[in-house]
A and B are shown apart, each in its own frame.
Chain A
Amino acid sequence: MTDTTAQTGRAVAAPARKGSLLEVDSLTRKRNAAEARFKMYGLSAVIVGLLFLVALLATILSNGTSAFTQTFITIPVPLERAEIEAAEKSIVKTSKYRAIIGTAFANVLSSAGIETDMSAKDLDKMMSSGAAASVRDFVLANPASIGTTHTFDLLASSRVDGYLKGRVTREDLINDKNLDAAHLDIVDRLSAAGIVQKRFNWQFIFGADASDSRPEQAGIGVSMIGSFFMMLVVLVLSLPIGVAASIYLEEFAPKNRFTDLIEVNISNLAAVPSIVFGILGLAAFIQFAHLPQSAPLVGGLVLTLMTLPTIIISTRASLKSVPPSIRNAALGVGASKMQSVFHHVLPLAMPGILTGTIIGLAQALGETAPLLLIGMVGFIASNVPDGVAAGFLDPNSAMPAQIYEWAKRADPAFYERAWGGIIILLLFLMTMNIIAIILRRRFERRW
């Protein structure tokens, strides 16, 4: 030890280096080269990252935007009183309505000058099987319209839609038992006549999921409501619990083995795979506490468990970053510990806490795995839940679970909707991040 000290002592005492400042010596040249190389690595890493991002966004947009438009067929349907009464009396009501629409459609074709020898049943295949139901719903909702002719924009079947979007080609139809080339000829001519049109599809944003045979009707709206109620649960539970826990741990708890253990475990919890929280939720909330399955309340509870560590960690970090001089200042004028925390430390830590919370929420919003385990991937074709309590307790899905569900189904029309759902999900996440940024700015501007 003493020897080395002596040696370094001698090395330090080496004579001052002489040399012109205008000449770069070899050591400096090496250092500069290393720095330049490092900058290059960094820059290329950034570029690679950006490329991935661009590729990702481009894929999502190119695959998903088509989900936001849908093909509609414009048909004036005469709503004859006699026919409607007959239909309402029969057992399978929608099939009668289908006949009414079929006749109206045939009239549209002939008045557009399109000749065809197809049967009404064959023609019907160009329309969504939900078309009859939507006509019937309209009639029941507007009894005054009976006896008039109302012009409906009826959903075309997903194959027709796919054909107009380029997803279905004539070659594909060889194996298709529903549609053949003759149909497509009619579609071409109808679309030239403006009777078949692609239009923005609000149903996709606000509607409910639909069964396998009717992808053109499926929407993400109901699962959006499910996600919304879950996020409410997460926010209401995890923000106060997380912030209170962090304040206690950071400001009040004695520093000992026990609190160290808690600290380590919280960090570990943040790294636990989300599916573990899912099975925990299944065991604790559904099997033990007997909460309803597939309910946003349970989903929210599970996601709260998952979000808590994130919020606690970021809150503690932002509490830690408040300079101790502020705490001393408050204590020095006779504020109690709690006053110093709530009057001075917490407001300063607020931007960090909010950012952490919103990032935690965004993570929770995009989480799928735990929802699979508590059954929140159900097929929810019914519409909006009635009332707030039902919102929390009725079976529902969630946006990412709905996307997963669609991606699983065979029909490529659902695949398109999965991409569209991802766009909506990303929009939500982006909005949340922007809110986080705005809040941070707003709170930080207080000097």
Chain B
Amino acid sequence: MNEMPVVDAEAGTLLPKISAKKVQVFYGETHAIKDVDLNIADRTVTAFIGPSGCGKSTFLRCLNRMNDTIDICRVEGDIRIDGEDIYDPKVDPVQLRAKVGMVFQKPNPFPKSIYDNIAYGPRIHGLSRSKADLDEIVANSLQKAGLYEEVKDRLDEPGTGLSGGQQQRLCIARAIAVSPEVILMDEPCSALDPIATAKIEELIDELRENYTIVIVTHSMQQAARVSQRTAFFHLGNLVEEGETKEIFTNPTDRRTQDYITGRFG
């Protein structure tokens, strides 16, 4: 897998990991995403914020084509990862999803053992040659997700028997285990208590070193704490995008200002 950031050979500058141009999403007649242009940088955490129903999740799901599973959903425009059009007919969404992992709002471990939860992805992608290989991947992923110490003695117990926060970290470990390049997180902490949330935020910060992370959140504080860049969505439009600090201290748009000061949303 290509671990090196892609560099524009001519300009010598960093290309964005993901670039979206003129993205439109429709659910039947509903126009959920309107003309969104957005670049997402490699090895940074980008936060999507915005009032409920503004299309954050919808846009996030475009990035690994999870929207394909919704019959009435139609995506238009151009989304590229490392310069490759992910909606090209030649692209197999299954392969794409191994490259762009996802963590969901509600922790959703498989009703299998902790070990099998993490080993499942590597197994179906043929990432391990032997049992020892697989053991190592599992241990590594758990370590990266900061869960290893808590569960190392009970890897064969059901993943569903963990606490909510542990389950969410298990899901993150599961996503990491297939060595993705991008991890999408849709409100990963909304079902968790402050302590578990703090752990996950810490984890996201560590993961930034190796992954491109996009996180949807309703918590302004969380966005401020974990992200380097923030995108504000409103009614299907991308209102503004920039350095997180800039967005929170000095937003250019009135709507952004209203939202972060809590006037609506």
A and B held together in a complex: yes
A348 to B71, CA, bound (A): 24
Question: How many A-B pairs with Cβ below 8 Å?
Answer: 69
Nearest Cβ on chain A to B9's Cβ, whole angstroms: 30
Tell me whether A325 and B104 are in contact in the complex, defined as CB-CB below 8 angstroms, given that A334-B94, A336-B94, A339-B124 are known contacts.
yes
Complex contact A328–B104 (CB within 8 A):
yes
Q: Contacts A333-B178, A336-B94, A344-B110 known; A447 to B158 CB distance under 8 Å?
A: yes
- Show 28 A/B contacts (Cβ-Cβ < 8 Å), sorted by A: A325-B104, A326-B108, A326-B111, A327-B69, A329-B109, A329-B110, A329-B174, A330-B110, A330-B120, A331-B66, A332-B103, A332-B104, A332-B175, A333-B101, A333-B121, A333-B174, A333-B175, A333-B178, A334-B95, A334-B98, A334-B124, A334-B178, A335-B94, A336-B94, A344-B110, A447-B158, A447-B160, A447-B161
Other-chain contact of A332, B101, B111, B125, B158 (Cβ < 8 Å): B101
Known interface pairs A255-B71, A333-B174; A325-B106 also in contact (CB < 8 Å): yes
- Apart from A325-B104, A326-B110, A332-B97, what 13 extra A-B contacts exist at CB < 8 Å? A323-B108, A325-B108, A329-B108, A329-B171, A330-B120, A331-B66, A333-B178, A334-B99, A335-B120, A336-B94, A343-B120, A343-B124, A447-B111
Cα distance A446–B94 in the bound complex, in angstroms: 28
List residues of B whose CB falls within 8 A of some A CB: 64, 66, 69, 71, 94-95, 97-99, 101-104, 106, 108-111, 120-121, 124-125, 158, 160-161, 171, 174-175, 177-178
Contacts known (A326-B110, A328-B104); A334 close to B171, Cβ less than 8 A: no
Verify B71–A334 contact, CB threshold 8 A.
Answer: no
A339 CA / B97 CA spacing, docked (Å): 14
Contact with A335, one of B101, B111, B124, B171 (Cβ below 8 angstroms): B124
In the complex, whether A42 has a CB less than 8 A from a CB of chain B is: no
B108 touches A333 (CB 8 A): no
Q: What CA separation (Å) do A329 and B175 show in the bound complex?
A: 9
- A125 to B109 alpha-carbon distance, docked (Å): 76
Residue numbers in A under 8 Å from B95 (CB-CB): 334
CB distance from B62 to the nearest CB of A (A): 14
Q: How far is the CB of B116 from chain A (nearest CB, A)?
A: 10
Contact B98 A333 (CB under 8 A): yes
Complex contacts, B124 vs chain A, CB 8 Å: 333-335, 339, 343
Chain B proximity of A9: nearest CB distance (Å): 25
Instruction: Tell me the smallest distance from the CB of B85 to a CB of chain A, in Å.
Output: 19
Cβ contacts under 8 Å, A113 to chain B: none
Task: Give A71 Cβ to nearest chain B Cβ, in Å.
Answer: 59
Contact (A334, B111) CB under 8 Å given A255-B71, A325-B106: no
Chain A residues, Cβ within 8 Å of B110: 326, 329-330, 344
User: In angstroms, how far is the closest chain A Cβ from the Cβ of B2?
Assistant: 17
B69: A residues at CB distance < 8 A: 327-328, 331
A331 and B97 alpha carbons, distance in the complex (Å): 7
Q: Report the bound CA distance from A327 to B68 in whole Å.
A: 13
- Expressed in whole angstroms, the Cα–Cα distance for A333 and B108 within the complex equals 12
Complex Cα distance, B121 from A339, in Å, reads 11
The answer, among B71, B97, B106, for a CB contact under 8 Å with A333, is B97
Q: Which chain B residues border A333 with CB–CB below 8 Å?
A: 97-98, 101, 120-121, 124, 174-175, 177-178
